[in-house]
Amino acid sequence: MGAPEPKVTTETLRQKKARGEPIVVLTAYDFTLGAICDQAGVDVVLVGDSVATVMQGHDTTVTVTLEQMLYHCELVARACKRALVVGDMPFLSYQVSVEDALRNAGRFLKEARVEAVKLEGGRRVLPAVESLVAAGIPVMGHLGLTPQSIHQFGSYRTRGSDSDEAQRIKEDAQALAAAGAFALVLEKVPAALAREVTAGLPIPTIGIGAGVHCDGQVLVSYDMLGLFTKWKPRFARRYAELGTTAAGAIERYCEDVRARRFPNEGESY
Protein backbone atom coordinates (compact mmCIF):
# COMPACT_ATOMS: atom_id res chain seq x y z
CA MET A 1 0.00 0.00 0.00
CA GLY A 2 1.50 3.34 -1.08
CA ALA A 3 2.08 6.29 1.18
CA PRO A 4 -0.81 8.76 1.41
CA GLU A 5 -0.59 11.79 -0.84
CA PRO A 6 0.67 14.91 0.93
CA LYS A 7 -1.86 17.44 2.15
CA VAL A 8 -2.56 20.30 -0.24
CA THR A 9 -1.69 23.67 1.29
CA THR A 10 -1.62 27.25 0.13
CA GLU A 11 2.08 26.75 -0.58
CA THR A 12 1.22 23.74 -2.75
CA LEU A 13 -0.94 26.01 -4.89
CA ARG A 14 1.84 28.57 -5.26
CA GLN A 15 4.19 25.80 -6.35
CA LYS A 16 1.66 24.54 -8.88
CA LYS A 17 1.43 28.02 -10.41
CA ALA A 18 5.22 28.22 -10.62
CA ARG A 19 5.34 24.85 -12.39
CA GLY A 20 2.44 25.70 -14.69
CA GLU A 21 0.45 22.80 -13.25
CA PRO A 22 -3.34 23.42 -13.32
CA ILE A 23 -5.19 23.51 -10.00
CA VAL A 24 -8.45 21.55 -9.70
CA VAL A 25 -11.22 23.03 -7.54
CA LEU A 26 -14.78 21.81 -6.93
CA THR A 27 -17.52 22.74 -4.49
CA ALA A 28 -18.95 20.37 -1.91
CA TYR A 29 -21.50 20.84 0.84
CA ASP A 30 -21.59 17.61 2.85
CA PHE A 31 -19.41 14.77 4.10
CA THR A 32 -20.23 12.32 1.31
CA LEU A 33 -19.53 14.64 -1.62
CA GLY A 34 -16.50 16.07 0.16
CA ALA A 35 -15.04 12.59 0.54
CA ILE A 36 -15.71 11.78 -3.12
CA CYS A 37 -13.96 14.97 -4.25
CA ASP A 38 -11.04 14.31 -1.93
CA GLN A 39 -10.57 10.70 -3.03
CA ALA A 40 -10.91 11.64 -6.72
CA GLY A 41 -7.90 13.95 -6.47
CA VAL A 42 -9.46 17.43 -6.31
CA ASP A 43 -6.87 19.90 -5.02
CA VAL A 44 -9.19 22.42 -3.36
CA VAL A 45 -12.69 21.77 -2.09
CA LEU A 46 -14.65 25.00 -1.78
CA VAL A 47 -17.66 24.97 0.50
CA GLY A 48 -19.43 27.58 -1.55
CA ASP A 49 -22.27 29.88 -0.63
CA SER A 50 -23.79 28.36 -3.78
CA VAL A 51 -25.29 25.98 -1.23
CA ALA A 52 -28.07 28.59 -1.09
CA THR A 53 -29.09 27.91 -4.69
CA VAL A 54 -28.26 24.27 -5.35
CA MET A 55 -29.23 22.81 -1.96
CA GLN A 56 -31.58 25.33 -0.36
CA GLY A 57 -33.47 26.32 -3.51
CA HIS A 58 -33.00 30.09 -3.31
CA ASP A 59 -32.51 32.32 -6.35
CA THR A 60 -29.33 33.97 -5.04
CA THR A 61 -26.49 33.25 -2.63
CA VAL A 62 -27.38 36.26 -0.49
CA THR A 63 -29.72 34.36 1.84
CA VAL A 64 -27.34 31.78 3.31
CA THR A 65 -26.37 32.51 6.91
CA LEU A 66 -23.08 32.32 8.76
CA GLU A 67 -24.32 29.48 10.95
CA GLN A 68 -25.43 27.50 7.91
CA MET A 69 -22.06 27.96 6.22
CA LEU A 70 -20.21 26.87 9.35
CA TYR A 71 -22.36 23.74 9.50
CA HIS A 72 -21.70 22.75 5.88
CA CYS A 73 -17.99 23.57 6.16
CA GLU A 74 -17.58 21.32 9.18
CA LEU A 75 -19.17 18.39 7.32
CA VAL A 76 -16.83 18.79 4.35
CA ALA A 77 -13.70 19.43 6.43
CA ARG A 78 -14.32 16.19 8.30
CA ALA A 79 -14.26 14.31 4.99
CA CYS A 80 -11.21 15.82 3.31
CA LYS A 81 -7.84 14.30 4.13
CA ARG A 82 -5.79 15.61 1.16
CA ALA A 83 -7.63 18.57 -0.38
CA LEU A 84 -7.35 22.11 0.92
CA VAL A 85 -10.78 23.07 2.29
CA VAL A 86 -11.90 26.67 1.77
CA GLY A 87 -15.04 28.12 3.34
CA ASP A 88 -17.07 30.83 1.63
CA MET A 89 -17.79 33.72 3.97
CA PRO A 90 -21.45 34.64 3.39
CA PHE A 91 -23.00 38.03 2.73
CA LEU A 92 -22.57 40.48 5.63
CA SER A 93 -20.19 38.22 7.56
CA TYR A 94 -17.19 40.39 6.59
CA GLN A 95 -18.57 43.65 5.15
CA VAL A 96 -19.81 45.32 8.34
CA SER A 97 -16.44 45.81 10.05
CA VAL A 98 -12.93 44.44 10.14
CA GLU A 99 -13.63 43.17 13.66
CA ASP A 100 -16.66 41.22 12.42
CA ALA A 101 -14.65 39.80 9.54
CA LEU A 102 -11.86 38.61 11.83
CA ARG A 103 -14.22 37.14 14.40
CA ASN A 104 -16.29 35.30 11.81
CA ALA A 105 -13.31 34.06 9.82
CA GLY A 106 -11.84 32.72 13.03
CA ARG A 107 -14.98 30.68 13.56
CA PHE A 108 -14.51 29.09 10.14
CA LEU A 109 -11.09 27.80 11.21
CA LYS A 110 -11.83 27.02 14.87
CA GLU A 111 -15.35 25.58 14.64
CA ALA A 112 -15.74 24.45 11.03
CA ARG A 113 -12.10 23.29 10.71
CA VAL A 114 -11.54 24.72 7.22
CA GLU A 115 -8.05 25.82 6.28
CA ALA A 116 -8.87 29.06 4.48
CA VAL A 117 -11.76 31.41 3.75
CA LYS A 118 -12.96 33.13 0.60
CA LEU A 119 -14.53 36.55 0.37
CA GLU A 120 -15.77 38.64 -2.52
CA GLY A 121 -14.68 42.09 -3.64
CA GLY A 122 -11.64 44.21 -4.37
CA ARG A 123 -10.26 47.28 -2.68
CA ARG A 124 -13.27 47.73 -0.41
CA VAL A 125 -12.41 44.47 1.41
CA LEU A 126 -8.64 45.05 1.63
CA PRO A 127 -8.73 46.04 5.34
CA ALA A 128 -10.51 42.76 6.13
CA VAL A 129 -8.08 40.74 4.01
CA GLU A 130 -5.07 42.36 5.66
CA SER A 131 -6.50 41.76 9.13
CA LEU A 132 -7.26 38.11 8.45
CA VAL A 133 -3.87 37.43 6.91
CA ALA A 134 -2.13 39.16 9.83
CA ALA A 135 -4.02 36.84 12.18
CA GLY A 136 -2.84 33.77 10.27
CA ILE A 137 -6.04 33.11 8.32
CA PRO A 138 -5.41 32.32 4.63
CA VAL A 139 -7.70 34.30 2.31
CA MET A 140 -8.85 33.52 -1.21
CA GLY A 141 -10.18 36.54 -3.12
CA HIS A 142 -12.99 36.68 -5.68
CA LEU A 143 -13.37 39.22 -8.50
CA GLY A 144 -15.43 39.66 -11.65
CA LEU A 145 -18.99 38.50 -11.17
CA THR A 146 -19.41 38.45 -7.41
CA PRO A 147 -22.78 36.79 -6.75
CA GLN A 148 -23.28 38.39 -3.34
CA SER A 149 -23.53 41.73 -5.18
CA ILE A 150 -26.18 40.53 -7.62
CA HIS A 151 -28.77 43.07 -6.44
CA GLN A 152 -26.27 45.85 -7.12
CA PHE A 153 -25.23 44.41 -10.51
CA GLY A 154 -28.82 43.69 -11.56
CA SER A 155 -27.83 40.71 -13.74
CA TYR A 156 -25.37 37.85 -14.06
CA ARG A 157 -23.75 39.29 -17.20
CA THR A 158 -20.03 39.07 -17.88
CA ARG A 159 -17.95 41.56 -15.89
CA GLY A 160 -14.89 43.40 -17.21
CA SER A 161 -16.08 43.64 -20.80
CA ASP A 162 -15.56 47.40 -20.91
CA SER A 163 -12.13 48.96 -20.46
CA ASP A 164 -12.92 50.84 -17.24
CA GLU A 165 -14.24 47.79 -15.40
CA ALA A 166 -11.42 45.64 -16.78
CA GLN A 167 -8.90 48.10 -15.40
CA ARG A 168 -10.61 48.05 -11.98
CA ILE A 169 -10.44 44.25 -11.93
CA LYS A 170 -6.73 44.30 -12.77
CA GLU A 171 -6.04 46.87 -10.08
CA ASP A 172 -8.15 45.02 -7.52
CA ALA A 173 -6.35 41.77 -8.31
CA GLN A 174 -2.97 43.37 -7.68
CA ALA A 175 -4.25 44.94 -4.47
CA LEU A 176 -5.59 41.63 -3.15
CA ALA A 177 -2.30 39.91 -3.86
CA ALA A 178 -0.42 42.71 -2.11
CA ALA A 179 -2.76 42.42 0.88
CA GLY A 180 -1.76 38.77 1.26
CA ALA A 181 -4.46 36.76 -0.51
CA PHE A 182 -3.07 33.34 -1.49
CA ALA A 183 -5.30 32.85 -4.54
CA LEU A 184 -7.99 34.62 -6.54
CA VAL A 185 -11.22 33.41 -8.14
CA LEU A 186 -12.06 35.14 -11.43
CA GLU A 187 -15.71 34.60 -12.29
CA LYS A 188 -17.34 35.28 -15.64
CA VAL A 189 -14.77 37.67 -17.08
CA PRO A 190 -13.46 37.71 -20.66
CA ALA A 191 -10.77 35.08 -21.27
CA ALA A 192 -8.31 37.69 -22.52
CA LEU A 193 -8.69 39.71 -19.31
CA ALA A 194 -8.31 36.60 -17.14
CA ARG A 195 -5.15 35.68 -19.03
CA GLU A 196 -3.69 39.14 -18.46
CA VAL A 197 -4.57 39.14 -14.77
CA THR A 198 -3.14 35.64 -14.33
CA ALA A 199 0.14 36.53 -16.03
CA GLY A 200 0.58 39.61 -13.87
CA LEU A 201 -0.06 38.03 -10.47
CA PRO A 202 2.31 36.19 -8.14
CA ILE A 203 -0.65 34.17 -6.76
CA PRO A 204 -2.78 31.56 -8.55
CA THR A 205 -6.03 32.47 -10.28
CA ILE A 206 -8.96 30.07 -10.30
CA GLY A 207 -11.35 30.59 -13.19
CA ILE A 208 -15.05 29.94 -13.47
CA GLY A 209 -16.29 31.11 -16.83
CA ALA A 210 -12.97 32.90 -17.33
CA GLY A 211 -11.24 30.84 -20.01
CA VAL A 212 -8.49 28.25 -20.03
CA HIS A 213 -5.52 30.45 -19.12
CA CYS A 214 -6.24 30.76 -15.40
CA ASP A 215 -3.99 28.75 -13.09
CA GLY A 216 -6.91 26.52 -12.13
CA GLN A 217 -10.60 25.94 -12.65
CA VAL A 218 -13.60 25.63 -10.34
CA LEU A 219 -17.14 24.44 -10.98
CA VAL A 220 -20.17 23.99 -8.78
CA SER A 221 -20.28 20.23 -8.29
CA TYR A 222 -24.07 20.07 -8.60
CA ASP A 223 -23.74 21.71 -12.04
CA MET A 224 -20.98 19.47 -13.39
CA LEU A 225 -22.70 16.33 -12.05
CA GLY A 226 -26.05 17.27 -13.57
CA LEU A 227 -27.81 17.36 -10.20
CA PHE A 228 -28.90 21.00 -10.40
CA THR A 229 -31.05 21.68 -13.45
CA LYS A 230 -32.87 24.92 -12.60
CA TRP A 231 -30.43 26.77 -14.88
CA LYS A 232 -27.26 25.84 -16.76
CA PRO A 233 -24.50 28.42 -17.04
CA ARG A 234 -22.62 28.41 -20.34
CA PHE A 235 -19.36 27.64 -18.55
CA ALA A 236 -20.71 24.67 -16.57
CA ARG A 237 -19.74 21.55 -18.51
CA ARG A 238 -21.84 18.54 -17.54
CA TYR A 239 -19.65 15.51 -16.79
CA ALA A 240 -22.64 13.39 -15.73
CA GLU A 241 -26.42 13.53 -15.57
CA LEU A 242 -26.89 12.23 -12.05
CA GLY A 243 -30.21 14.02 -11.67
CA THR A 244 -31.70 11.94 -14.48
CA THR A 245 -30.05 8.77 -13.15
CA ALA A 246 -31.39 9.39 -9.64
CA ALA A 247 -34.90 10.12 -10.90
CA GLY A 248 -34.91 6.84 -12.84
CA ALA A 249 -33.70 4.89 -9.82
CA ILE A 250 -36.38 6.43 -7.59
CA GLU A 251 -39.07 5.64 -10.15
CA ARG A 252 -37.96 1.97 -10.21
CA TYR A 253 -37.95 1.88 -6.41
CA CYS A 254 -41.50 3.25 -6.35
CA GLU A 255 -42.61 0.60 -8.83
CA ASP A 256 -40.96 -2.22 -6.87
CA VAL A 257 -42.48 -1.16 -3.56
CA ARG A 258 -45.95 -0.83 -5.06
CA ALA A 259 -45.65 -4.21 -6.81
CA ARG A 260 -44.26 -5.81 -3.62
CA ARG A 261 -41.03 -6.73 -5.41
CA PHE A 262 -39.06 -4.93 -2.71
CA PRO A 263 -37.88 -6.18 -0.32
CA ASN A 264 -37.27 -9.74 -1.54
CA GLU A 265 -36.37 -12.72 0.62
CA GLY A 266 -32.65 -11.95 0.53
CA GLU A 267 -33.32 -8.39 1.72
CA SER A 268 -35.44 -9.53 4.68
CA TYR A 269 -34.57 -10.91 8.11
Name 207's Cβ contacts closer than 8 Å, sequence gap at least 6. Answer: 185, 186, 187, 194, 213, 214, 216, 217, 218
**Per the residue annotation, which of 187, 251, 255, 265 is the catalytic one?**
187
Give me the count of residues in the chain: 269
> What are the DSSP calls for 146-206, one per residue?
-GGGHHHH-S---SS-SHHHHHHHHHHHHHHHHHT-SEEEEES--HHHHHHHHHH-SS-EE
User: Which is it for the CA torsion 48, 57, 221, 68, positive or negative?
Assistant: positive
Dump the DSSP string for 11-36.
HHHHHHHHHTPPEEEEE--SHHHHHH
For the four alpha carbons of 204, 173, 184 and 10, in that order, the dihedral sign comes to positive
CB 87 within 8 A of CB 114: yes
Q: Does residue 187 carry a catalytic annotation?
A: yes
* Phi, psi (rounded to 5 degrees) for 38: -60, -50
> Which residues are known catalytic residues?
187
